[in-house]
Structure 1
Amino acid sequence: MSAPDLSALVSARLCHDLISPMGAIRNGMELLQMAPGEAQSPEHALIADSLETALAKLRYFRLAFGPADPQARQAFGEAVQVTDAMFTGRFTVSWETRGIDMARPRARVIYLVILCIEKSLPMGGNLHVRVTAETVDFSVEGRRTAPPEALWRHVTEGAPVADLRPDAVQFALLREALIATGRRIAVQFTETGATLNLTEVSPAPA
């Protein structure tokens, strides 16, 4: 088994093992709020919001960083739900599809691209993802873009990256995922936006 495969399994295991106890904490908070005479305090609301944010991140990271079975499918309804829960602040994601689902490896590539785009928008922005059977188009509107050029060159050209930081690991994973699924991505940033096009260059799961 390769190192990337082991890394994906470790990521999935960590996310899975953390989701269960955090879900139990959320259920406990709901029971406390249902107790007679127990009004929802600001403290309870803060804890509940923090739990929902953490659970949303864990679910998203499990899909983006975990293993992707080529035989498994990803429903678009789930993709929308996962991204809506994950991105609720300055960075938002909207979807346009033709009502088709995706193979999990393709969905994983999209999740990683979204993380890379988020990293390139320090002040936030709006991302629109258009998915067809053959291509995926990403269009970005933001206040200001700051794409890490060396990391994007690694994604598109395979240029080596020195001192990869943990908060940029999605770029290295995206490069590996593109190769594994036989896809390439064209990237063009402007001062306030970007367009990215994901296409298939060799036979791979849709």
Structure 2
Amino acid sequence: MGQSNINLAALIGSRICHDLISPIGAINNGLELLGMSDAREGPELELISESVGNASARIRFFRIAYGAASDQSLGRAEVVSILSDSMHGGRLQVAYGPLDPQPRWAVRMAFLAVQCLETSLPYGGRIEVTCVDGRWDISGHSAKQSVDQGLWGLLAGKEVDELAPAHVQFALLASVAPDAQRKLQTDIAPERLSIRF
């Protein structure tokens, strides 16, 4: 996929996320109004509320990971909030290290790397995101891994015959790295997986 196609796909991703966040926010507002009224609370409302919260968190994550990138800065509080909300209730914990605002394109790459690690750590674990002197390291720590060598090969510039939608983050990260003038480096160890750029 050429650079123009990547940019077009990112704009499509941004548009979809932008258009979905409003109705989900409206549903959430409606649930809050129901909570303030005499409406009986029950498992149904709890399930709807939890589902809306999960959908909203994932869309916020996808908006960064799959949306259009720029040099606009994202503050630590916003990034930590998005990561925390999108991983809430899951098997993975994510620790985001950078204290200063970071450019959106770099956070986008970090989010894609987090998704690559999430795919490879289906039994849970901890992901640490660090940035020192502009060099990013996203590492996953777990005693149990499920590493698909073909998918990880994509990060090294290799081709795969077929790519499932659930694994698009590997191809996209490999495609956007050259645009950001970054080279991806990976390390696969028994209890640690790392993606650096």
TM-score (normalizing by structure 1): 0.89
Question: Structure 1 residue 155: deviation in Å?
Answer: 1.0
Instruction: Name the structure 1 match of 2:56.
Output: 55
Unmatched segments (≥5 aa) in structure 1:
199-206
Unmatched segments (≥5 aa) in structure 2:
none
Q: What CA distance in whole angstroms lies between the structure 2 residues aligned with 1:102 and 1:26?
A: 30
Aligned partner of 2:51: which letter? S
Q: What CA distance in whole angstroms lies between the structure 2 residues aligned with 1:63 and 1:80?
A: 13
Alignment of 1:10-21 (within 5 A): 10-21=12-23
Identity within the alignment, %: 34
Question: Structure 1 residue 33: deviation in Å?
Answer: 1.3
Instruction: Name the structure 2 match of 1:26.
Output: 28
Question: Structure 1 residue 187: deviation in Å?
Answer: 1.5
Question: Structure 1 residue 131: deviation in Å?
Answer: 1.6
Instruction: Name the structure 2 match of 1:44.
Output: 45
Tell me the C-alpha RMSD between the 2 structures.
Answer: 1.4
Question: Structure 1 residue 195: deviation in Å?
Answer: 3.0
Structure 1, residues 76-105: CA drift from partner, whole Å, max 9, x if none?
2211111011112101101222x3211111
Instruction: Name the structure 1 match of 2:149.
Output: 149
Aligned partner of 1:191: which letter? P
Aligned length: 194
Instruction: Name the structure 2 match of 1:76.
Output: 76
Alignment of 1:1-206 (within 5 A): 2-36=4-38, 38-70=39-71, 72-88=72-88, 89-97=90-98, 99-156=99-156, 158-198=157-197
Q: What CA distance in whole angstroms lies between the structure 2 residues aligned with 1:196 and 1:29?
A: 40
Q: What CA distance in whole angstroms lies between the structure 1 residues aligned with 2:193 and 2:24?
A: 36
Aligned partner of 1:53: which letter? N
Which is worse superposed, 9-18 or 127-136? Answer: 127-136
Secondary structure of 1:131's counterpart equals strand
Native 8 Å contact 1:100 1:133 kept in 2: no
Native 8 Å contact 1:15 1:61 kept in 2: yes
TM-score (normalizing by structure 2): 0.93
Aligned partner of 1:103: which letter? P
Aligned partner of 2:141: which letter? E
Native 8 Å contact 1:124 1:143 kept in 2: no
Which is worse superposed, 53-62 or 125-134? Answer: 125-134
Q: What CA distance in whole angstroms lies between the structure 2 residues aligned with 1:28 and 1:44?
A: 11
Aligned partner of 1:180: which letter? D
Runs of 4+ in 1 over 3 A off after TM superposition: none
Q: What CA distance in whole angstroms lies between the structure 1 residues aligned with 2:111 and 2:75?
A: 13
Question: Structure 1 residue 52: deviation in Å?
Answer: 0.3
